[in-house]
Copies of this chain bind each other. A is one copy, B any other.
Amino acid sequence: MNKIITISRQFSSGGREVGKRLAEALNFAYYDKELVQKVATKGGFDAEHVEKQSEQYSYQLFPYQIGQSFATYEPYHQLNVDLKVIQNKLLKEIAEKENAVIIGRCADYVLKEYKPFKVFIYASNMECKINRCNEKNTSDNKKSNDELIEEINSIDQKRAKYYNYITEQKWAEMSNYDLCIDTSSVGVKGAVEIIAKAIETKYN
């Protein structure tokens, strides 16, 4: 069975960077935006729409009322249902094909039959998150710290809502993961080394 590492992460915790560097270190495939592009191509969707929807809780994914017939779905809702189906199918194809690091997309839950190694990356220090946001923002449109905090918390709330709905588990509850790491303590480089050691000790 291939080794699959799923990385769930708080917004601006550096989780995506951890995943990318980890995949390089272990010589595993890496899926994040790559997955978005694949879903878009396969389903004939617009890539921007896929990215927007792929981790968003969307009430529109489901019928307006219980008991309402499937026939009354509006095209937009059906589109999002199709998107999830394609995304989940692709995740399973990846797990069948190769060792991989996969960011977000409830892959820890979707791929549970493949027994992924489930990591959660967080940053307990809000200042670290704000600094990371500012480093990434290359535009002239700087946001205040208060605006950034609101944005960071709001994105995490959406991720939690989406994860909790899809998986019926609780996002960021440690018992759903094998390993949880605070990048504001050990840094991105440290997190990569810690996960690599965990993989070595678990599979060797």
Contacts and interface: CB of A to CB of B under 8 A. Distances in A.
A182 B190 contact: no
Given A172-B174, A174-B172, A174-B174, A190 B186 contact: no
Given A174-B180, A193-B201, A201-B194, A185 B120 contact: no
B186 A194 contact: no
Given A179-B181, A179-B182, A180-B180, A202 B174 contact: no
A122 B174 contact: yes
A122 B173 CA distance: 12
Chain A, interface size: which category?
A: 20 to 34
A178 interface: yes
Nearest to A120: B174
Interface string A116-159: 01001010100000000000000000000000000000000000
Contact of A186 (B122, B178, B181, B186): B178
A177 interface: yes
A190 B185 contact: no
A175 interface: yes
A201 B178 CA distance: 20
Nearest to A189: B201
Contacts of A202: 185-186, 190
Given A172-B174, A174-B174, A179 B201 contact: no
Contacts of A182: 174-175, 177-179
Contacts of A189: 201
Nearest to A125: B175
Given A194-B194, A194-B198, A179 B175 contact: no
